A = this chain, B = another copy of it.
Amino acid sequence: MNYDLSQIPERAIKPRQKGLTMVMDKGLSLRQVEDFLEVSSPYTDIVKLGWATSYVTPNLKEKLAIYKSAGIPVYFGGTLFEAFYIRNQFEDYLRVLDKFGMEYAEVSDGSVEMESDVKCEFIHRLSKHVTVLSEVGSKDEAKIIPPYKWIKLMRMELEAGAWKVIGEAREGGNVGLFRSSGEVRQGLVEEILTEIPEENIIWEAPQKSQQVWFVKLVGANVNVGNIAPNEVISLETIRLGLRGDTFDHFLDK
């Protein structure tokens, strides 16, 4: 840190087991990746190449190499897994992971119908090759999953071999964990946390108010995701009680 302040909550340092920040890259140039890393590398634990953007971005191999040399794992968004799945091309997906040397992968069912045991089978199979993140929650805002089912799915997917389960919110932060207004489904999150250890969950929380809410509920070292590259510094100050929104939260009363 650039100077000393007392009463700053203790922050996990890399490689972190909790307090993870997952960042969404939806098409950065190589220089933009370097710029991002210059500022945010110490605070970034893992990067997602959003949904199937990796299909169209011309600089994929070079980009993966830059993240690799910075020691930051990268994975393709779950929608890419679903795109291969819905086309009966899962074997091709394995070859793509292999071709690009991916060490992490996401399994999700945000845009497809998939029985939970089928999903768990994919998690299980993939977990033999890569570290798996699995995502719970639909991208369809009309589709409300009750809390007991979130919990059941998360537990099953962790048991099937997922390293972390992700709570869905999309890039906009307006589905899954959140109402279409972006407001947190507070009761849902609290109920999940009674059953699933917080360190096993990454909460997608792209909006500032959502990040603030999770830091206040879980603490400085909550795992959050879908953070825009230029919002990682802001998030870090929210974690540390150094932005107005959490200014009082970590101070001795």
Contact = CB atoms under 8 A, between A and B. Distances in A.
Given A56-B233, A79-B244, A82-B247, A38 B27 contact: no
B35 A32 contact: yes
Given A35-B29, A244-B139, A1 B55 contact: yes
Given A5-B84, A51-B237, 12 more contacts: A1-B55, A2-B57, A5-B55, A5-B83, A27-B39, A27-B40, A38-B59, A39-B57, A42-B58, A55-B237, A56-B240, A80-B242
Contacts of A3: 55, 92, 96, 99
A253 to B, nearest CB: 12
A72 interface: no
Contacts of A240: 52, 55-56
Top-8 shortest CB links A-B? A27-B233, A29-B35, A52-B242, A139-B244, A111-B247, A29-B38, A3-B96, A111-B244
A81 to B, nearest CB: 12
Contact of A244 (B51, B58, B230): B51
A7 B56 contact: no
Interface residues of A, number: 66
A128 interface: no
Most buried by B among A36, A100, A232, A233: A233
A30 interface: yes
23 contacts: A1-B55, A1-B56, A2-B54, A4-B92, A5-B89, A5-B92, A6-B89, A27-B232, A29-B34, A31-B35, A38-B58, A50-B234, A51-B243, A52-B243, A55-B237, A55-B242, A56-B237, A79-B244, A79-B247, A111-B244, A111-B247, A170-B244, A172-B208
